[in-house]
Structure 1
Amino acid sequence: MAAASLAGTVGHLAATMLPVFAMIGAFALAGHPVWSMGVAPAVAAMIVCALLRGLMRYVEQYLNHNVAFRLLALFRSKAFAALRRLAPAKLAGHGKGDLIALVTTDVELLEIFFAHTISPVVIAATTTVVYAVLLLTLDPWMALALIAAHLVIGVLVPRFFATGVRNLGPTIRRQASSLDDVMLDDMRGLGEIIRFGRGEDRVAVIARLTKRLWTEHVRLSRVNGRFAGIAGVLVLALTTATAVLVIALAAAAPLHGPALVVAFTLIASSFGPTMALSALPANLTQTFASARRLFALMDETPAVTETGTATPDYDGMRLDHVTFAYPTTPRPLPGPESSSSRPLPESDGWEPESASSLLPLEGELSATRTEGVSAGSTPILADFSLDVPATGILGVQGPSGRGKSTTIKLLMRYWDPQSGGVTLSGTPLPDVDAHHRRRVQALMGQETHLFDGTIRDNLLLALPQGERVDDSVSNAATDAAATDAAATDGLLRDALAKASALELVDSLPKGIDTPVGELGDRLSEGERQRIGLARVFLRDADLVLYDEPTSRLDALNEAVILKSIRDTSEGRAAVLFSHRESAMRVADHVVTF
């Protein structure tokens, strides 16, 4: 950054001094040398300035962007680290589109600060000092005139400009994130929108939010244009005032005229770095809003803090007189609370009345997210106890909303209970090493998330290179995963067979290398569940938690999944959470909520 500032300073000095040396050469040719400089030195100085300007401009831009992009990579890495630290509990209240905007657009906007703010400020301050020193050798009054002019353009104008755009940046970033949320949500639910004939209504909602965002951008552009015009007029006025001063001083001392004209040329050519400062507020209003959002994410406290070091062998789990309620304090997205969400005037034909009922306005969308899903302070679980066996299948049955998924989150330590305790093999769960706990446990949720890759890619997520897969076969399996593709295929095919998915995979055109599409859209719900089940089996955990694994499946696919769970649970523990009585037939013991 220092090198970039130095290069920029030299470049701007060269650009400013180019016409100054031209004027000096002209006066030297007329027999009135300034700074005792002849024609040849003046021409040589012009050539050097021209070459330096181009070279230093390139060096400045290269170094600024090199530093900026390195810092952006660092910030993006820190943002992902924050997401990992907060997941999954603290991310439940954030829209996915907003999180995507946070780690992409918001991070990228920081480039404006690092590449186009720090060095321009240093360059403007440094060049102003150098110009003032040079002008002192020509005429002290001209040095004072330059300092006064630069203070007006570089300090007063940006200060007033900043007051006009202070709230626009946060508003634009919040509305852009809301639009991202809606767009992502609609893209994922496009099939339902089409089937229910709501396409026009959803487009109207997107159009309304887009117009709101566009209106704020227009406001920012208008303010930017207004102050750019004011700055330009002020430069013209200050230059004119300087010319009047030159005339007055030349009239008092005619022999001093050449030096005064050179000084005037220097002042008239010196406003470039300072003018860049007057445009900073428009560029920085979104950058600072993005920085606040990003740093708020990094500073957010996770739901649980992992400090445990114990690594007990699995011998059952217990929830002992647990009471738990989700936090209900509203948590708005990071940003100034004062940012407004002003209603827009109606426009002819822009949005039908039916669209207004489909989506809350932007202010509502960002202000009502909460830490949890509970609508009140009533505990989801109150003085609740549950024993998870060391082996066998425990069935947990109950209607939706009774706390089955919450129980899973406590067992996985997504949250800690407000009272009571959760233990793993008699060890309090907070004292257990997080990596060990994730190795011992595996979870199959209601939805199986498949990444946009092949079936092989999605299965290998459960078999990371270099990680033990099973105490009895892990060493051989891990070595095979790293060195022998055939042995790895054997592991994957065995897991698929356990999940009753091998015949399905073999029937596909490319077998295990068949692409599944984004979110696994090329597979049916039942096929995705089977692939997800194979992935869980491949993990070979001591305790597998199944959260409504068959709730979205037909009777045939449910029977296949339950048979696979039954066949693979011998010698290990499984907890099957479901509202279906049919799912409980494979359980060794059933607990009813």
Structure 2
Amino acid sequence: MSTFQVIKRLLGEAKPLAGLMVAASTAGTIGHLAATFLPVFGIIAGFALAGNPVTTTIVYAIVAATLSPWMVLALIAAFTLLASSFGPTLALAALPANLTQTFAFARRLFSLMDEAPGVVETGTANSDYEGMRLDHVTFAYPGEESEAILADFSLDVPQHGILGIQGPSGRGKSTMLKLLMRYWDPQRGQVTLSGTPLPQIDVHARRRIQAMMSQETHLFDGTIRENLLIALPESEIRNGGAAGVLDARLREALAKASVLDLIDSLPDGLDTQVGELGDRLSEGERQRIGLARVFLRNADLVLFDEPTSRLDALNEAIILRSIHELSKSEQNADKGQDVAVVLVSRRESAMRVADAVLNL
């Protein structure tokens, strides 16, 4: 669930969805096999549990055969009745646990399906990037309406250059970025993109314009290569797959994020498994791979939320230089338009690359 925002920010819905369909198909196959063979295992278990009574019955039958044939028939009938009762008894014993588990799964699933989205995307307008604005917005998180994070707040995001935002925790720096990405709508005021209110703009058009790196970097259970490729459209992956062109592009992004040397030192390189949520990597390594993912996006507006918070001074300097170079790269050749960057950080050193700084 925590990776959904990452998928949306990177316009990568298709690739995880394809993987989910494969995983669901595999789970369905395993479930079918389990439903087929579990009854067989139940029968075997039933006979195993019946082993002691069977052994006892055989001994009694041998003894009884020396006394009376009628006693042998009685013992056979008793054994048949006893053996036939084990299957139903075991099934009844397991039924409450199975039903409880099924109902628990159903409650969680229905609760998720009934969850109302934070915002409803119905916009149809398209727009080039010509700046963004928070226009007298007031915002409080759901359930905390009495404590507004932003109150009658306005901010102009320029069409190009680096806007630095600095201040202590709790001042709403990260909240501003989330409003610009339209994770929520403000209770009052509005957020505009190129003069158009965000709710009126097509969500896919908006996401093509924007890219964001949040404070927490979420990686998917897979390889480093797979975690980078999610930032690229399928068409670019297909067109750039020949002659190592795609790998060269990935390596360039990793170099900008000051993590290429680490990747090259790993035995499997780009094909190294990162583990669930990237738990095989350190926080700083995950953060730099997340930065490389953003550098691959080619967005018009890039939002960075504490991009160097877990890095030492050397790696911070390399990444800040890359962010400065990113802001000077030309994304719109027709207009000669550079990339706009919003850089949120508590570090004074990060503000050195900013063209303008807002202190909160």
TM-score (norm 1): 0.43
Match of 2:116 in 1: 301
CA–CA distance in structure 1, aligned partners of residues 168 and 210 of structure 2: 25
The 3-state SS of whatever aligns with 1:383 is strand
1:388 to 157, 169, 190: 157
Match of 1:492 in 2: 250
Match of 2:288 in 1: 530
* Matched AA of 1:455: I
2:169 to 400, 421, 424: 400
- Gapped runs of 5+ residues in structure 1? 1-79, 89-102, 116-268, 329-373, 467-476
Displacement, 1:535? 1.0
* Matched AA of 1:431: Q
Match of 2:202 in 1: 433
Match of 1:445 in 2: 214
Match of 1:327 in 2: 142
Correspondence list, 1:283-298, <5 A: 283-298=98-113
CA–CA distance in structure 2, aligned partners of residues 517 and 288 of structure 1: 31
Match of 1:413 in 2: 182
2:231 to 444, 449, 462: 462
CA–CA distance in structure 1, aligned partners of residues 275 and 101 of structure 2: 35
Larger Rg: 1
CA–CA distance in structure 1, aligned partners of residues 263 and 275 of structure 2: 15
Match of 1:317 in 2: 132
1:480 to 236, 239, 244: 239
Displacement, 1:280? 6.7
Correspondence list, 1:310-389, <5 A: 310-328=125-143, 374=144, 377-389=146-158
Displacement, 1:530? 2.3
Overall identity of the aligned pairs, in %:
71
The 3-state SS of whatever aligns with 1:569 is helix
Match of 2:270 in 1: 512
Displacement, 1:528? 2.7
- Gapped runs of 5+ residues in structure 2? 9-22, 36-83, 329-337
1:581 to 323, 348, 351: 348
The higher relative CO (CA closer than 8 Å, separation ≥ 6) is in 2
Q: Any conservation in 1 of the 2:162–2:354 contact (CA below 8 Å)? A: yes
Alpha carbons of 1:455 and 1:289: their partners in 2 closer, same or farther (altered >3 Å)?
Answer: closer
Q: Any conservation in 2 of the 1:323–1:419 contact (CA below 8 Å)? A: yes
Alpha carbons of 1:460 and 1:319: their partners in 2 closer, same or farther (altered >3 Å)?
Answer: same
CA–CA distance in structure 2, aligned partners of residues 381 and 440 of structure 1: 25
Match of 2:52 in 1: none
| Alignment length (residue pairs) | 279
Match of 2:357 in 1: 590
Q: Any conservation in 2 of the 1:394–1:575 contact (CA below 8 Å)? A: yes
Deviations 1:79-137 (A, max 9, x none): x8xx969x99xxxxxxxxxxxxxx99xx99xx9xxx9xxxxxxxxxxxxxxxxxxxxxx
Displacement, 1:574? 0.6
The 3-state SS of whatever aligns with 2:296 is helix
The 3-state SS of whatever aligns with 2:309 is coil
* Matched AA of 2:157: V
Deviations 1:369-397 (A, max 9, x none): xxxxx5x6111100001111111100011
Alpha carbons of 1:395 and 1:507: their partners in 2 closer, same or farther (altered >3 Å)?
Answer: same
Q: Any conservation in 1 of the 2:218–2:278 contact (CA below 8 Å)? A: yes
Match of 2:260 in 1: 502
Of residues 527-536 and 420-429 in structure 1, the stretch that sits farther from structure 2 once superposed is 527-536
* Matched AA of 2:259: A
Displacement, 1:281? 6.7
Alpha carbons of 1:515 and 1:299: their partners in 2 closer, same or farther (altered >3 Å)?
Answer: closer
Alpha carbons of 1:386 and 1:292: their partners in 2 closer, same or farther (altered >3 Å)?
Answer: same
Correspondence list, 1:229-240, <5 A: none
Deviations 1:24-49 (A, max 9, x none): xxxxxxxxxxxxxxxxxxxxxxxxxx
Displacement, 1:448? 2.2
Match of 2:317 in 1: 559
Displacement, 1:554? 2.1
Deviations 1:142-196 (A, max 9, x none): xxxxxxxxxxxxxxxxxxxxxxxxxxxxxxxxxxxxxxxxxxxxxxxxxxxxxxx
Q: Any conservation in 2 of the 1:308–1:430 contact (CA below 8 Å)? A: yes
Q: Any conservation in 2 of the 1:319–1:387 contact (CA below 8 Å)? A: yes
Correspondence list, 1:131-150, <5 A: none
Match of 2:67 in 1: none
Q: Any conservation in 1 of the 2:302–2:342 contact (CA below 8 Å)? A: yes
1:548 aligns with 2:312: no
Displacement, 1:457? 1.6
* Matched AA of 1:568: L
Q: Any conservation in 2 of the 1:446–1:550 contact (CA below 8 Å)? A: no
TM-score (norm 2): 0.68
Correspondence list, 1:32-51, <5 A: none
Displacement, 1:488? 0.9
Deviations 1:538-573 (A, max 9, x none): 111111110011122222222122111111111101
CA–CA distance in structure 2, aligned partners of residues 388 and 480 of structure 1: 34
* Matched AA of 2:305: D
The 3-state SS of whatever aligns with 1:579 is coil
Displacement, 1:420? 0.3
RMSD over aligned CA atoms reads 3.4
Q: Any conservation in 1 of the 2:228–2:293 contact (CA below 8 Å)? A: yes
